[in-house]
Amino acid sequence: MITIRNATPEDADELVKIYTPYVEQTAITFEYEVPSVEEFKRRITSVLEKYPYLIAEIDDEIVGYIYANTFKGRPAYNRTVETSIYVKMGERKKGIGKALYEEMEKRLKQLGILNMNACTTWLETPNSYITHDSPDFHKHLGFVQCAHFHKCGYKFGRWFDILWFEKMLGEHEEKQ
């Protein structure tokens, strides 16, 4: 059974362990170096000042996390967030990501957030660094692709594209 709870800075060590293979072995993130536990604590604390940062656990073991963050720094974007999600390698395709997103959507709606945006890495032909799993996952959850940027991320000696997806969480009224 998957349990979802709020993240705390004390979770940073376990989250770094989940994130490390994504940095070192994939182009899912464009970070080159694994952040330190202290840096992860800082990131968690910063996100929690405004948005949810959630943890998925199975039998008290952290198996994934998701967070929302500022999409752009201008006030006009205050009802829009960018989401990031990571599930422990070997635990994907078990409903963890879906459970995290369902809880995230619920909490974002309570905050008055209307748009969720997600960025994924893309290659027409998948390779050892990137698959089509993330774009397919987001489409499965009701996200719609809204942008394709070409050769904008460089990692592992090659260029990668990115796709942006969006999902509307509520009504966009003239007088919000």
The rounded distance, in Å, linking the Cα atoms of 146 and 132 is 16
CATH of the domain at 74: 3.40.630.30
The answer to whether residue 105 sits within a structural domain is yes
> Considering the chain, what is the average pLDDT of its residues?
97
Read off the pTM: 0.96
Into how many domains does the chain fold? 1
The answer to whether residue 176 sits within a structural domain is no
Q: What is the mean pLDDT of residues 113-141?
A: 97
Q: Domain of 58?
A: 2-168
The answer to whether residue 112 sits within a structural domain is yes
pLDDT at 94: 92
Q: Is the pLDDT of residue 176 over 80?
A: no
Q: What is the mean pLDDT of residues 14-26?
A: 98
CA 23, 89, 37, 105 dihedral sign is positive
Q: Kindly indicate the confidence band of residue 93, based on its pLDDT and cuts at 50, 70 and 90.
A: confident
The rounded distance, in Å, linking the Cα atoms of 82 and 76 is 14
Give the residue from 48, 163, 174 showing the smallest Cα distance to 10: 48
